[in-house]
Structure 1
Amino acid sequence: MTAEYKVNGAVAVITLNNPPVNGLGHATRSAIVDGMKKALNDDAVKAVVITGAGKAFSGGADIKEFNSPKAMAEPTLHTVINVIENSTKPVVAAIHSVAMGGGLELALGCHYRVAAPGAQIALPEVKLGILPGAGGTQRLPRVLGLEMGLNMIVSGNPVPSEKLAKTALFNEMAEGDLMEAALAFANKVADVRPLPKVRDIKIDYPNYEGFLQFSRNTVKAMSGPFPAPLKCVEAVAAAVTMKFDDGIKFERELFVDLVQTTESKALRHAFFGERAASKVPDVPDDTPTRAIKSAAVIGAGTMGGGIAMNFANAGIPVKILEMKQEALEKGLGVIRKNYENTMKKGKLTPEKFEQRVGLITGTLSYEEIAQADIVIEAVFEDIGVKEQVFKKLDEVMKQGAILASNTSTLDVNKIAAFTKRPQDVIGLHFFSPANVMKLLEIVRGEKTGKDVLATALQLSKKIKKTGVVSGVCDGFIGNRMIEQYSRQAGFLLEEGCTPEQVDKAIEKFGFAMGPFRMGDLAGNDIGWYIRKRRYIEKPEVTYSKTADLLCEMGRFGQKTGAGWYDYKPGDRKAYPSQVVNDMIVKHSADLGIERRKISDQEIVERLVFALVNEGAYILEEGIAMRASDIDMVYLTGYGFPLFRGGPMFYADTVGLQNVVMSMEKYAKGRHGDAWKPAPLLAKLAAEGKTFN
């Protein structure tokens, strides 16, 4: 059932019932219209109340119907709102929990609105690269006023109902039971005429031209490559300057234009990709999970401390284990300082500060972490060190505890084999800084239990991470791909680029940080250590020696005050280094390479298409379940530009045939062997298909 119809005395009640958030899918829209017809045809009914069952009034459009014919099938949301607005009997929206997007637009079409405190009110469409398309930009400013209405539409952020209590959005705030209040209100207004319509309210704002121009300038400066925020301003401007019906028509035109933009498609792709990432075909939603009420972390370094903060932020007590008191105290001190900085910025109350710091304790004894529900190892990236830790954990941890490794490249199956309980072992690869970065790569070993995987996915949501499942391979999804990107960056240096030119080109494309600034931030010695292992394990894979030469100079990045760039004390700004540029030019000469001028387009294509090709291999091997999972890894963990939707989505928008043609061109240059298209990429390109 999608909407229930009942009569309570002289009031008909239409209850939306389309879990989980009463999305306004086609069946629900039809049921609302049917309910309205019944109410209008029943002489005993004097008024109508519309509300939502369960945990929402309505969360808006039904996302399951996005991009399908049902989304636009009659009755559309516009039609539903017209039926309600033109009703000859008063219609009251009884709002609780959530009224967002189309749900709020539906409520704005009602004659009256009664709300419960704590309901989240929003028009979040801008976050999907579109704008409210069922009258939201025309009606919300009429009830909230121009300034508040515009701010809510342009930001898309939810506002608690009590903060809007004194506006014309709500006629009454329910003190006790919402339905009792809504029924009483409906009976009170049953015979009041004329029926008030939001569309009839005139927006009165002195010097609105000045305010709108100021808004355009501000939004343009802040919205970057995304067109939707500025279009939102134009739509709201129409609410002031046009007749209502013309404003509705103008809103619709802008909506249709935005839906077609690559930026909106990229944002919608990310929206669906995040939800799809938590779905594992052989691990259904009802798979039993293990309770995580306490946690332990091995290692109090930067990574261990950051991981511990995630648990404390979620209210889960966590113990950090270190081998030496000095290292433990230093790690706990850094955590405290991080929280103090957050508190100074006003993002944390003193009470929350004390609570979170209090949830993190330290120990030097394995015995003291034995009862934790989950333990995450965050020690040095060396298989020998991991072996010692996991053998000890196997010995001391209680039965049923989850044993997780924060390894970024090592074989999780091998790590699991160090224990007698491989079903309890999983990879949980956090990204630095672990308390900030959104990505959590969840590495499923051959013997990882389904309940352990389901628990890890559930936990990722609890600690506010985007969990993406990866199979076991060297580097998993993210680092395996970034290696090919880094290889190309190195080859570009040998052929004619400087680190600054490469970084500037990819940052202009939209990356948060180029490969060389990223290396300096993470520490160039980490990549050096991995390459030394690669030289032994994969001697056939070639790398530029520039990064090794840099490390031999002791230039490990920001932590040593010198890397690909020079750094000044207390200043994180990267300054081009003459010493490094001279080293690169000399290295080219030693190799007998004549340096050439390289375009920004070539830099971007070689870096991004190297990611795409490796991503295609990862998909084909089943390491990633779907192309959107790869995109989520890159959007949430590697600074790939959101408006481009991730590497695989970007390749789809460029056209896979064009990607392959570019690769064939680069295959004629140096290191041409790196440009052999993955079989899946070649096949999809030949068939004119896409990854997503």
Structure 2
Amino acid sequence: MYTGSGTQRLPRLVGLSKSLEMMLTSKLVKGEEALGLGLVDAVVSPNELVATARQWALDILERRRPWVASLYRTDKLEPLGEAREIFKSARAHTKKQAPNLTHPLVYIDIVEEGVVSGPLAGLWKEAEAFQGLLHADTCKSLIHIFFAQRGTSKVPGITDRGLMPRQVRKVAVVGGGLMGSGIATALVLSNCSVILKGNDKSLQAGIGRVKANLQSRVKKGNMTQEKFEKTMSLLKGVRDYESFKDVDMVIEAVIENVLLKQQIFVDLERSCPPHCILATNTSTIDLNLIGEKTRSQDRIIGAHFFSPAHVMPLLEIVRTQHTSPQVIVDLLHVGKKIKKTPVVVGNCTGFAFNRMFFPYTMAAMLLVEHGANLYQIDKVITKFGMPMGPFRLVDLIGFGVAVATGLQFVQNFPERTYKSMLAPLLQEDKRLGEATRKGFYLYDERRKASPDPELKKYVEKARSISGVSIDPKLVKLPEKDIVEMTFFPVVNEACQVLDEGIAVKAADLDIASVMGMGFPPYRGGIMFWADSLGSEYIYSRLEEWSLLYGGFFKPCAYLANRAAKGIPLVRNLIFYNSRVMYAQTLLIRRVAIS
């Protein structure tokens, strides 16, 4: 059975441990490996498949061959006593690493039943358990994510025009920093020829990062030395635009400085061929502003990668009102080629992803200044299923980025931002996050985070500057309220993004939240999760908090309208019922045959 949860890593053993690891981590296995593990009975070439399947069906019908021979294999199983220890260890791992999920524990129970009582008993238990799991929220959420991810590449008015993507064989990346080198790594790994441009210092550092990224794959056994050398040969470092004459696409990935980016795009327009796609990796700046000094607005597009760019699966494709549909189709194709999930969004400050999540840390700052415990907030949000809490996240990305991004939103959306001085105060004292071993947390030489008692004085000073007093209700805030007061402003801003047409579909925002922010997929993404609570409930809570704490919590008109009409934020669970019925039918047939 498929978990889709990626819950844990069990000890890499053979036999039962290996099988449990595969199920609990949704690991994909190729045919030959599956045969070696005893998961399939045979592997045949594509041109032999139909004939072999026909013959096997006849053999099974006439009892010349047992039905699903692998079901009765025991040669891969450990002795019963050892097997029970493996199940015990698997349950301990699961409870620790996936405390919010029940279905991985059910899988373990089913496998144990099959090992202890025989394969038929295991199948009957699976059929029985399947009925319960089928209608659980986790199942619905994961099915939603499955289809929503595949739906991101369908953009109304763009991908339905019949346009064929042009080949993008040679790409230039401007900027050898962390993002530029990460993007270059992703491209060469997909067999693209890449030019990396930078000055003397940044260029050498950028090439070094690409090399280190690839060597890491060699070290882990994911790439041979021969493949490493071939991949590195696709990268060329340059210090000027002379080599840009025949590139198919350029991705600018320099610091968030408007004047610098404007000059780069003027240079690109002059140096690149007329068909070349001009992309920027900016995470917040309006694309019209970046390209306003050019005459090439139709081929300017946002290619917003997430750090580290060669690892993170999301690619936010930003279009303006001038961007050519052909350029969007081309970049969608590039996104798939480099194994990213592309989400097409509109142009504004922060676009869809950063715009949607800008209230996330602001809400946490507001809670702290009004009396909530900073470390408790992080603990609760992590328990909810996020990779880390908002304060630990700021430490990770760095205070420079966090403060600069926050200012962008304060300037553009002043009526619904919370202006806390907590982060700037820490920044003034050179507490810049994990990189400096001091931020909201203290970090040891292994970068392990621990609470800092000194943080109290910064909170008190920020509270004094903001002019707020401690609210006794927030001092011992229930976990449920911490989650809702942190995430409901995110839902509210996501509704604004939908209302303004920045995002095409609510499901696209779910994918962005899961792949860009680490929102738990088993909750279906930020909007799907919101629908599980109901738009009326979210509206009423935000309205209540806005009266107590100001306009930051004020629900938008889009949310108010849906709450009044009882309309969900994610309209329909695509194909859910038909797919579930199909899965039920398969399982019922499988048990009946046995």
* Shorter-normalised TM range: 0.7 to 0.9
Select between 624-633 and 540-549 the one with higher mean Cα deviation: 540-549
* Aligned equivalents of 2:503, 2:333: Cα separation in 1: 19
Look up the SS of the partner of 2:169 in the other structure. coil
After superposition, the Cα gap between the structure-2 partners of 1:173 and 1:516, relative to the gap in structure 1 and judged at 3 Å, is closer
Tell me if the contact between 1:128 and 1:268 (Cα under 8 Å) persists in the aligned partners. no
Cα distance, 1:539 vs structure 2: 5.1
- Match for 2:545: what amino acid? Y
- Match for 2:172: what amino acid? A
The C-alpha deviation readout for 1:141-184, integer Å capped at 9, x for no partner, is: xxx98777656544443333333556877666547951696399
* Aligned equivalents of 1:219, 1:276: Cα separation in 2: 35
Q: 2:181 aligns with which of 281, 298, 305?
A: 305
Q: 2:556 aligns with which of 678, 681, 688?
A: 678
* Aligned equivalents of 1:386, 1:666: Cα separation in 2: 40
* Aligned equivalents of 2:412, 2:20: Cα separation in 1: 58
Give 1:35's aligned residue: none
Cα distance, 1:452 vs structure 2: 0.9
What does 1:138-157 correspond to in 2, within 5 Å? 152-157=22-27
Tell me if the contact between 1:216 and 1:233 (Cα under 8 Å) persists in the aligned partners. no
1:612 equivalent in alignment to 2:491:
yes
- Match for 1:680: what amino acid? Y
Q: 1:667 aligns with which of 543, 546, 565?
A: 546
1:602 equivalent in alignment to 2:481:
yes
Select between 374-383 and 329-338 the one with higher mean Cα deviation: 329-338
- Match for 1:636: what amino acid? M
What does 1:541-580 correspond to in 2, within 5 Å? 541-568=417-444, 570-580=445-455
After superposition, the Cα gap between the structure-2 partners of 1:211 and 1:171, relative to the gap in structure 1 and judged at 3 Å, is closer
* Aligned equivalents of 2:124, 2:205: Cα separation in 1: 62
Cα distance, 1:296 vs structure 2: 0.6
* Aligned equivalents of 1:201, 1:408: Cα separation in 2: 51
The C-alpha deviation readout for 1:662-681, integer Å capped at 9, x for no partner, is: 212212322x2122212221
Tell me if the contact between 1:199 and 1:244 (Cα under 8 Å) persists in the aligned partners. no
TM-score by length of 2: 0.85
Give 2:134's aligned residue: 259
Tell me if the contact between 1:413 and 1:446 (Cα under 8 Å) persists in the aligned partners. no
Look up the SS of the partner of 2:518 in the other structure. coil
Give 1:353's aligned residue: 228
1:653 equivalent in alignment to 2:528:
no
Give 1:162's aligned residue: 32
Tell me if the contact between 1:270 and 1:632 (Cα under 8 Å) persists in the aligned partners. yes
What does 1:399-438 correspond to in 2, within 5 Å? 399-438=274-313
* Aligned equivalents of 1:168, 1:532: Cα separation in 2: 57
Tell me if the contact between 2:38 and 2:70 (Cα under 8 Å) persists in the aligned partners. no
The structure with the greater share of residues assigned to strand is 1
Cα distance, 1:257 vs structure 2: 0.7
Cα distance, 1:655 vs structure 2: 1.9
Cα distance, 1:326 vs structure 2: 1.8
Higher relative contact order (CA 8 A, sep 6+): 2
* Aligned equivalents of 1:565, 1:415: Cα separation in 2: 36
* Aligned equivalents of 1:629, 1:172: Cα separation in 2: 40
After superposition, the Cα gap between the structure-2 partners of 1:169 and 1:258, relative to the gap in structure 1 and judged at 3 Å, is closer
Give 2:587's aligned residue: none
* Aligned equivalents of 1:319, 1:292: Cα separation in 2: 13
Tell me if the contact between 1:555 and 1:563 (Cα under 8 Å) persists in the aligned partners. yes
1:233 equivalent in alignment to 2:108:
yes
After superposition, the Cα gap between the structure-2 partners of 1:590 and 1:545, relative to the gap in structure 1 and judged at 3 Å, is closer
Cα distance, 1:321 vs structure 2: 0.6
* Aligned equivalents of 2:15, 2:441: Cα separation in 1: 51
- Match for 2:86: what amino acid? F
Select between 616-625 and 579-588 the one with higher mean Cα deviation: 579-588
The C-alpha deviation readout for 1:112-136, integer Å capped at 9, x for no partner, is: xxxxxxxxxxx6x22289xxxxxxx
Cα distance, 1:361 vs structure 2: 1.6
Look up the SS of the partner of 2:251 in the other structure. strand
After superposition, the Cα gap between the structure-2 partners of 1:194 and 1:368, relative to the gap in structure 1 and judged at 3 Å, is closer
Look up the SS of the partner of 2:522 in the other structure. helix
The structure with the greater share of residues assigned to helix is 2
* Aligned equivalents of 1:527, 1:370: Cα separation in 2: 37
Cα distance, 1:359 vs structure 2: 1.6
* Aligned equivalents of 1:354, 1:684: Cα separation in 2: 56
The C-alpha deviation readout for 1:6-45, integer Å capped at 9, x for no partner, is: xxxxxxxxxxxxxxxxxxxxxxxxxxxxxxxxxxxxxxxx
- Match for 2:463: what amino acid? S
* Aligned equivalents of 1:486, 1:405: Cα separation in 2: 25
What does 1:11-90 correspond to in 2, within 5 Å? none
Tell me if the contact between 1:498 and 1:581 (Cα under 8 Å) persists in the aligned partners. no
* Aligned equivalents of 1:176, 1:278: Cα separation in 2: 29
- Match for 2:171: what amino acid? A
Cα distance, 1:683 vs structure 2: 2.0
TM-score by length of 1: 0.74
- Match for 1:674: what amino acid? F
- Match for 1:211: what amino acid? A
Tell me if the contact between 1:145 and 1:203 (Cα under 8 Å) persists in the aligned partners. no
Select between 170-179 and 536-545 the one with higher mean Cα deviation: 170-179
Tell me if the contact between 2:420 and 2:466 (Cα under 8 Å) persists in the aligned partners. no
Give 2:4's aligned residue: 127
Select between 640-649 and 234-243 the one with higher mean Cα deviation: 234-243
After superposition, the Cα gap between the structure-2 partners of 1:230 and 1:413, relative to the gap in structure 1 and judged at 3 Å, is same
Tell me if the contact between 1:315 and 1:356 (Cα under 8 Å) persists in the aligned partners. yes
Q: 2:66 aligns with which of 193, 196, 203?
A: 196
* Aligned equivalents of 2:258, 2:540: Cα separation in 1: 40
The C-alpha deviation readout for 1:633-672, integer Å capped at 9, x for no partner, is: 11001121222221111111122222122212212322x2
Give 1:217's aligned residue: 89
What does 1:342-421 correspond to in 2, within 5 Å? 342-421=217-296
After superposition, the Cα gap between the structure-2 partners of 1:182 and 1:661, relative to the gap in structure 1 and judged at 3 Å, is same
Cα distance, 1:282 vs structure 2: 0.8
1:178 equivalent in alignment to 2:54:
no
After superposition, the Cα gap between the structure-2 partners of 1:665 and 1:189, relative to the gap in structure 1 and judged at 3 Å, is closer
- Match for 2:557: what amino acid? P
Select between 278-287 and 175-184 the one with higher mean Cα deviation: 175-184
The C-alpha deviation readout for 1:554-611, integer Å capped at 9, x for no partner, is: 322223332222334x332223233332121133245553324141333221110010
RMSD (Å), alpha carbons: 3.0
Give 1:208's aligned residue: 80
Look up the SS of the partner of 1:572 in the other structure. coil
- Match for 1:196: what amino acid? P
Look up the SS of the partner of 1:667 in the other structure. helix
Look up the SS of the partner of 1:497 in the other structure. coil
Cα distance, 1:436 vs structure 2: 1.3
Tell me if the contact between 2:366 and 2:418 (Cα under 8 Å) persists in the aligned partners. no
- Match for 1:675: what amino acid? F
* Aligned equivalents of 1:242, 1:487: Cα separation in 2: 54
1:326 equivalent in alignment to 2:198:
no
- Match for 1:668: what amino acid? L
* Aligned equivalents of 1:175, 1:523: Cα separation in 2: 52
Tell me if the contact between 1:374 and 1:401 (Cα under 8 Å) persists in the aligned partners. yes
* Aligned equivalents of 1:160, 1:200: Cα separation in 2: 17
After superposition, the Cα gap between the structure-2 partners of 1:300 and 1:241, relative to the gap in structure 1 and judged at 3 Å, is same
- Match for 1:454: what amino acid? V
Tell me if the contact between 1:146 and 1:203 (Cα under 8 Å) persists in the aligned partners. no
Cα distance, 1:469 vs structure 2: 0.9
1:462 equivalent in alignment to 2:337:
yes
Cα distance, 1:370 vs structure 2: 2.6
